[in-house]
Amino acid sequence: MMSFEISLPPWAVEENQLLPKFIPDYEQRMRAVIRFAEINLDKKTGGPFAAGIFEKNSGEVVGIGVNRVVPANNSSAHAEIVAISLAQKKLSTFDLGGPGMPDYQIVVNGRPCAMCCGALPWSGIRSLVIGASGERIESLTGFDEGAVHPNWQQELESRGIEVIENVLTEEAEVVFQRFRDSNEPVYNGRSGDDLQ
Amino acid sequence: MMSFEISLPPWAVEENQLLPKFIPDYEQRMRAVIRFAEINLDKKTGGPFAAGIFEKNSGEVVGIGVNRVVPANNSSAHAEIVAISLAQKKLSTFDLGGPGMPDYQIVVNGRPCAMCCGALPWSGIRSLVIGASGERIESLTGFDEGAVHPNWQQELESRGIEVIENVLTEEAEVVFQRFRDSNEPVYNGRSGDDLQ
């Protein structure tokens, strides 16, 4: 009882194995990430979010993770946390920005929430590529993305993380529109509360 | 390779088993949490941080978790994330604030960082009890707590989470002073960067 484990669903393990070793183009990286988010929604294996970790310059694929909150009974199992954790395990380090490491990039289909924005500086990630904006996620889906810092881009940049927004935004938003039209849960905490 | 696991160290599993079933008093809850942080530092099983989850009104103990970043090679394995994840596993829910649940409280020896502040609303936690301030953690230890929202207390309160600060502050700060005087790593990301 004093440990917990978070796993990718079987389809995502297979899809990771089928990815090319390198995806040089940022839009192609985003397209792969959006596809994982879409399948995660279709297969009902988590929320409509995915995150991929890539070696920024070469495009070498480290892995793509997906949101696992509901199936894993874990409110912190957002795609970014899952992808960063799997990458850190694969590379045997808690700091992807450690000595001798290349620059690693995280590619996400939607702007990271307050938790995941906060997770990035700790992770050693050096580059963030975003599809849909936080405002669009909230208006399309009903998720409350939390108290993201008003100057989150500058706060990340000042910690050595470049921020690249609006990559394949329309394709990214389609998944959130499909989520809105599904009956999948909007799993903000406190569902027993009248704040909901 | 497509899953990751985070465990408490053996001493913390034992110490959890030795806790009373109920700790009614908030200061006593904080004292237990500070003790876990202190042991975590002494045994070198993670950073100087612990977090306990309690049923707020009765004081029933759900469990106390500790920081596992360095031993687990996982930059998200902060005490709060570990404690919330273990509690959600134990109670078989991703939402500690779900229908029919009592109010759950998290007690931390230091103000949660940006990531962990962001994790609280998703978790369903209804009450946050803090020992040392974020400013004191940063000045004593050198950790960069990230881009915490300037009005983080109000942002949490507006999401139904009460915030209680300055509980056993001096006792909490002693652990951070001891951390400063140790040679344990300050594991901000990007240790390969001259930002560090």
Residue B141's contacts (CB-CB under 8 Å, 6 or more residues apart) are B48, B176, B179, B180, B186
Task: Tell me if chain B has a CB within 8 Å of the CB of A34.
Answer: no
What's the one-letter identity of residue B26? Y
What value of ipTM does the predicted structure carry?
0.96
In this prediction, residue A196 carries a pLDDT of 42
Closest residue in chain B to residue A119, using alpha carbons only? B115
**If you measure CA to CA, which chain B residue comes closest to A72?**
B94
A84 vs B contacts (CB less than 8 Å): 75-76
Q: How far apart are CA A157 and CA A191, in angstroms?
A: 35
Q: What are phi and psi of A150, to 5 degrees?
A: -55, -30
d(CA B167, CA B164): 8
Q: How far apart are the first and last CA of chain A?
A: 30
Q: State whether residue A148 is helix, strand or coil.
A: coil
Subunit contact A4:B97, Cβ cutoff 8 A: no
Tell me which residue of A69, A54, A87, A84 sits closest to A9, measured CA to CA: A69
- Count CB neighbours of A183 within 10 A: 6
CA B92 to chain centre: 20
Residue by residue, pLDDT tens for chain A (196 residues) are: 599 999 999 999 999 999 999 999 999 999 999 999 999 999 999 999 999 999 999 999 999 999 999 999 999 999 999 999 999 999 999 999 999 999 999 999 999 999 999 999 999 999 999 999 999 999 999 999 999 999 999 999 999 999 999 999 999 999 999 999 998 889 888 787 644 4
Q: CB–CB of A28/B117 below 8 Å?
A: no
Q: How far is A9 from chain B (nearest CA, A)?
A: 9
Distance CA B69, CA A48 (A): 27
Positive or negative, the CA dihedral A2, A7, A10, A13 is negative
Residue of A100, A122, A155 lying closest to B189 (CB–CB): A122
Asked if B107 and B65 touch (Cβ cutoff 8 Å), the reply is no
- In terms of Cβ atoms closer than 10 Å to its own Cβ (0-12, 13-18, 19+), residue A104 is buried
User: Whole-model pTM above 0.80?
Assistant: yes
CA B110 vs CA A148, B75, B176: distances in Å = 20, 17, 9
Instruction: Using CB atoms, pick whichever of A3, A75, A96 lies closest to residue B84.
Output: A75
Cα-to-chain-centroid distance, residue B185:
18
Q: What is the per-residue pLDDT across B45-94, written as a single tens digit (0 to 9) for each?
A: 999 999 999 999 999 999 999 999 999 999 999 999 999 999 999 999 99
Which carries the bigger pLDDT value, residue A115 or residue B194?
Answer: A115
3-state secondary structure of A107: strand
Q: CA B76 from chain center: how many Å? A: 12
Using DSSP's 3-state secondary structure scheme, residue A161 falls into coil
**A:112-141 residues touching chain B, CB 8 A cutoff:** 113-126
- What's the rounded mean pLDDT across residues B103-118? 98
Q: What is residue B127's predicted lDDT score, i.e. its pLDDT?
A: 98
pLDDT value at residue B188: 84
| Smallest CA–CA distance from A92 into chain B, residue | B73
- The alpha-carbon gap from A27 to the nearest alpha carbon of chain B, in Å, equals 24
CB contact under 8 A, B97 and A193: yes
Measured between beta carbons, the chain A residues lying within 8 angstroms of B162 are none
